[in-house]
Structure formats: structure tokens, C-alpha cells
Amino acid sequence: MSERQSKTARKKTKPSPENLGSRRFPLRRIVPNAVTLLALCLGLTSFRLGLNNAFDLGVLCIVGAGFLDAFDGRLARMLKAESPLGAQLDSLSDFVNFGIAPVLLVYLWALQSTGRVGWAVILIFSVCCALRLARFNVDMEEADRPAWKSQFFMGAPSPSAGGLVMLPMYLHLGGLMDMSSATPFILLNTVVVGMLMVTNFPTFSGKGLSTIRRDFVLPLMLFIGFMAVMLFTFPWITLTAMCVLYYLALPLSWLSHRRYAAA
């Protein structure tokens, strides 16, 4: 083949701008999935810390995974990077971070001495979390779902349940209450939170909140700053207060859901 023929062949095989563009992937679509994977790594790291008896750091890893989980979906919508892969990855990450890691920490911390009973309770919680996530994915695919239902979850979401199940650890680590001999309460709390995930009890959801009134911006920013200061300064008291407030909000969410359904 002559040099001229070789150049002609290379020109023919050179990709067109259209083909070149189709083989490139926008980086903005990777960012939400990277946040989800970071949350997954935090959840798995909490289990390792629990094996090393560093329960305080393990709890904080799960709390950090919860905050990341609260923002990865919103980040995907802001960047217009939503995808079926991201949705499935988020669901799998939630199951590990909030359906397995928290109860394994609780088991390593206080339930190993209970033998089969403690392990059965752990399995109940994890099964409830799996069923809750499966039901959530199915509900999201309903085409005729009313818009007002986006303001509510049916049952406690898995991140909230992962935080609630560790309430005895907050009380003990913060010195608020001695939980060393409160095994029945720990078992009961785990079962109750697990059942709360699979019930049809409506709970508030922040997913439907995309805009707020202008006069609420400054108070909201002050509240977020206050919560950040409290969480970094008094983490166990703050986490305990958040759990108590969540339980107190359950009757309000039920009344609000009932009013919307009647209207």
C-alpha cells in the first residue's frame, strides 16, 4: 500500500465528531453516584469500627452516610443526572447503610450475650428494611400517584430507621442513661423501629419540598447552622433530641396525611 493510500485509509477510519461525542460521558452525571458510593463506604467502615470496639466512630460514620444519602438524590436532580443506575445504586446503598450496618453495631455493642434471640431481632430489622425499600421502589413507579403523596412516606424511611435503632447507643455514649443492663429495651426498640418501616403509617418526607417562602430563608439557614453547631459540639444529645422529635412528629404526620386524603 502506498503512502497516499495509507493516509486515505486513516481518513476514512477517523471517527466523526458525532461518533466522538456519543462516546464521551458528562462528568456531572458521575457526581451523584460518587456521593452514593462514598456513603456506602462510610456504612461499611462503621462495621469495621464496631469490630474494633470504636462504637462512637462507627455511629458517626452511619450518621455521615445518612446526611450524604439526603443530598445525593437532590444533587442528581439539580445536575439533571438522574438515571436508573443511580436509583438502583442508591437503594442498594440504603440497605447496607441503614438496614445492616446500624443493627450490626447494636448487636456488637449490646446483644451478643443474648445469643439467638438478639440475632433473630437483627434479622427481623434487616428483612423489614429490605421490604420497605422494595415497596418504596414500586410506589415510585406508579403513574397515577397523586402529587400530594410525595410529601409523605408510607412507614419510616430506612435512613430514619437506621438512626432510630441506635437511640440506646446515643443515650449510653452521651452519658445520658446507662444502657449496660437495658437489653430488653434495646431489643424492643429494634423490633418497633423495624415494624415502623413496613407499616402504612404516613411519615413526613422532604422530597416534595423544592421551594420555600423568601421570608423563611434566613430562619432556615440559622436553624441549619444551629443544628450543625450542636451536632459537632454535643453529638449524642443532638442525635437523641432528633430521635425524640421524630417520634413526636408521627402524630402530626398522620393528621396531615389524613387531611390531604380527605381533601
SS (H, E, C) the chain: CCHHHHHHHHHHHCCCHHHHHHCCCCHHHCHHHHHHHHHHHHHHHHHHHHHCCCHHHHHHHHHHHHHHHHHHHHHHHHCCCCCHHHHHHHHHHHHHHHHHHHHHHHHHHHHHHHCHHHHHHHHHHHHHHHHHHHHHHHHHCCCCCCHHHHHEEECCCHHHHHHHCCHHHHHHHCCCCCCCCCHHHHHHHHHHHHHHHHCCCEEECCCCCCCCCHHHHHHHHHHHHHHHHHHHHCHHHHHHHHHHHHHHHHHHHHHHHHHHHHC
Give the three cell numbers for residue 23: 462516546
CATH of the domain at 258: 1.20.120.1760
Q: Is the pLDDT of residue 213 over 90?
A: no
Residue 14 lies in a domain: no
Higher pLDDT, 11 or 137: 137
Residue 167 lies in a domain: yes
48-57, 80-89, 175-184 — which one is most confidently predicted on average? 48-57
Residue 59 lies in a domain: yes
**Which residue, among 168, 169, 188, has the nearest Cα to 49 in the 3D structure?**
169
The mean pLDDT of 153-166, rounded to a whole number, is 91
Residue 115 lies in a domain: yes
Q: Is the pLDDT of residue 228 over 70?
A: yes
pTM above 0.75, yes or no: yes
Angle at 72 between CA 67 and CA 76, to 5 degrees: 160
The mean pLDDT of 220-247, rounded to a whole number, is 91
The mean pLDDT of 46-71, rounded to a whole number, is 92
The mean pLDDT of 198-224, rounded to a whole number, is 79
Residue 33 lies in a domain: yes
Residue 2 lies in a domain: no
Parent domain of 118 = 23-262
Average pLDDT in the chain? 84
Give the three cell numbers for residue 56: 462512637
Residue 77 lies in a domain: yes
**Which residue, among 107, 96, 39, has the nearest Cα to 72 in the 3D structure?**
39
The mean pLDDT of 141-149, rounded to a whole number, is 65
How many independent structural domains does the chain possess?
1
pLDDT at 259: 86
Buried b (16+ CB within 10 A) or exposed e, 228-253: eeebeeebbbbbbebbeebeeeeeeb
